[in-house]
Amino acid sequence: MNNLKKAVLELEDGTKYTGFSFGYEGSVAGEVVFNTAMTGYTESLTDPSYEGQILTATYPMIGNYGIPGGETEDGMQKFFESDRIHVKAFVVADYSFEYSHWNAERSLADWLKSQKVPGVTGIDTRALTKRLREKGSMLGRIIIDDKAVDFYDPNKDNLVAQVSCKDVEVYNEGGSKTVVLVDCGVKNNIIRCFTKRGAKVVRVPWNYDFSGIDYDGLFISNGPGDPKMCTETISHIKKALTEDRPIYGICLGNQLLALAAGFDTYKLKYGHRSHNQPVLLEGTDKCHITSQNHGFAIDMNTISGDWEPMFVNVNDNTCEGIRHKTKPFFSTQFHPEACGGPVDTEYLFDEFLKLL
């Protein structure tokens, strides 16, 4: 690493971690979070839910299988979850300068540089993760060439407006059933999960009034930041709740559905970002292992009336989904589309489409 520039990660509490730059050589700031998944850095980096965040990988070796090409399929990137990298920077313990994979076309370092995203290696990510677990997610900044930047709190911005599509887009035009997808930062694999099941998807911007569209079911996507920022989305969902057409939400969509129903949300201490979160289907002994990426959750104590919790996190008893007792409305905090894995709960797309 002698030929790499020094890079310093500084947390808002003054803690500093010194490593080396392997990506874009520019200083940035954001919210520092960690993900405990062993694989899937390509999918995570392109997940819009990470907008504004400095992502730390707890798995030590990163970059060994490179980055795939930019092929498209059905109007979407085939191997990525969106059209660009969304993290502010990527922090790893041991970057693999050599990569090998049948699908790889370039290195992680080259990809980060092409999109002007810093990468930092040589940091004790175990110590950093312990700090974040004890203190909670913190603001941080990556300093390269001693060029400091101000700390930046992404949760004060409407991040959803930054990552949502700008115009209405249609996928699988000839589909048998029409799903309106409210794009709050949707992952491509969610759209794939609908189209491969024969549905037509009408993707609309986060603040779009979809009430004039003739649709069979409403889907509310994942996305970044504080759900309470999405006041227009919540207003449109409230209107949809007065009808009996099926509604399904994932991640941020789960929180937005809860807010529209009159419940409350709050910021978790350090969030759930991993491929191994156990959730229990309420009323059963069935436990699923799920993929998650969120920093906010529904306040379980506020769920009342005709609604009930649908899934609960076995680790910390947080709410992992809600459902209406009589109407076809439900949502999950975890990711059933789970790209890249596990896919234990993908059946929920089938359950939703059966309701249409």
* Residues designated catalytic: 251, 335, 337
Contact in structure between 336 and 348 (CB atoms under 8 Å) = yes
Within 8 A by CB and 6+ apart from 182, the residues are 204, 206, 208, 210, 218, 219, 220, 221, 233, 236, 237, 253
Within 8 A by CB and 6+ apart from 127, the residues are 17
- 61 φ, ψ (degrees, to nearest 5): -100, 120
From the list 258, 285, 295, the residue with the least C-alpha distance to 30 is: 295
Residue 137 to residue 292: CA distance in whole angstroms: 16
From the list 330, 320, 323, the residue with the least C-alpha distance to 305 is: 323
Four-CA torsion 307, 272, 237, 259, nearest 10 degrees: 60
Q: How many other β-carbons are positioned within 10 Å of the β-carbon of residue 12?
A: 15
Residue 151 to residue 10: CA distance in whole angstroms: 9
Token couple for 20:
């080396």
Q: How many other β-carbons are positioned within 10 Å of the β-carbon of residue 100?
A: 9
Which whole-number Å values give the CA distances from 4 to 58, 232, 309, in the listed order? Answer: 22, 46, 50
